[in-house]
């Protein structure tokens, strides 16, 4: 029953938000095009439920002439970010196109953030539990430190969410997310892992916190 109600809420709420927010979405798209000629939308393949690949949508926040698969920005002063892109990231407005992913059923409002399919091979059996649910627009890791957390900490919080998922936890995560978005805190990744694994920055795990990478 929880899964049914969650999917029904996600579909209806995402549809309603798209209807209400379409003027804002259009304004953002125009602002991106004016700031840096090129497409306003950006998409990347990510791992969905059970590891099934899907295309995650975002508003573009980086210049066209940079590698979108490079390391996550450390601050708003990263030269790869456009002026409007910095603003969109810091208030998570770049994630709004994922409302479409929610309607399509690729994502939910609450769940582990979608990472790359290639990263699955790096996870142990416990960490792969995060794939049992749809990835989310926000999750337990995003309200528990976000960019301050290492990949190990994020994965553990993702698994904890799957183990404890329910209406109350989802509601708490959504309310906490709104508070953190308005505060604009914890956006940029401080370090990749506890061991500062450089392979994660040059291999499959380059953009680990997918909520903040292009």
**What pLDDT sits at residue 207?**
40
**What pLDDT sits at residue 186?**
61
Q: For residue 172, what are the CA distances in angstroms to 8, 53, 60, 191?
A: 18, 28, 29, 27
Predicted confidence pLDDT, tens digits, the chain (214 residues): 899 999 999 999 999 999 999 999 999 999 999 988 889 999 999 999 999 999 999 999 998 888 777 777 777 778 888 889 989 988 889 999 999 999 999 999 999 999 999 999 999 999 999 999 999 999 999 999 877 888 899 999 999 999 999 999 999 999 999 888 776 556 766 666 666 544 444 344 444 333 344 4
What letter does residue 144 receive in the DSSP assignment?
A: T
**What pLDDT sits at residue 64?**
83
pTM: 0.86
Strand partners, 62: 81
Helices (H), the chain: 2-35, 83-90, 98-104, 151-164, 167-183, 199-202
> Using N-to-C axis directions, what is the helix angle for 2-35 and 167-183, rounded to 10°?
20
Helix or strand or coil: residue 59?
Answer: strand
Phi–psi pair at 47, nearest 5 degrees = -90, 125
**What pLDDT sits at residue 203?**
42
Hunting for tokens 């049914």 — which residue is that? 4
**What pLDDT sits at residue 192?**
62
* Straight-line distance from the first to the last Cα atom of the chain, in angstroms, rounded to the nearest whole number: 35
**What pLDDT sits at residue 208?**
38
**What pLDDT sits at residue 125?**
95
CA 124/CA 145 separation, integer angstroms: 22
């Amino acid at each position: 029953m929880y899964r049914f109600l969650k999917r029904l809420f996600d579909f209806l709420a995402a549809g309603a938000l798209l209807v209400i927010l379409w003027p804002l979405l259009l304004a953002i798209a125009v602002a991106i095009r004016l700031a840096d000629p090129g497409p306003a939308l950006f998409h990347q393949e990510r791992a969905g439920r059970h590891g099934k690949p899907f295309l995650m949508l975002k508003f573009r926040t980086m210049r066209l002439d940079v590698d979108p698969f490079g390391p996550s920005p450390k601050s708003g002063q990263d030269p790869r970010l456009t002026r409007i892109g910095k603003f969109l990231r810091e208030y998570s407005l770049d994630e709004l196109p994922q409302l479409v992913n929610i309607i399509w059923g690729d994502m939910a409002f609450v769940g582990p953030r979608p990472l790359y399919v290639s990263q699955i091979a790096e996870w142990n059996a416990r960490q792969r539990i995060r794939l049992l649910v749809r990835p989310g627009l926000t999750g337990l890791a995003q309200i528990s430190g976000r960019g301050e957390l290492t990949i190990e900490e994020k994965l553990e919080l993702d698994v904890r969410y799957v183990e404890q998922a329910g209406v109350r936890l989802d509601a708490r995560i959504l309310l906490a997310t709104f508070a953190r978005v308005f505060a604009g805190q914890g956006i940029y990744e401080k370090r990749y892992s506890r061991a500062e694994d450089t392979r994660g920055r040059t291999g499959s795990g380059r953009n680990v916190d997918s909520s903040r990478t292009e």
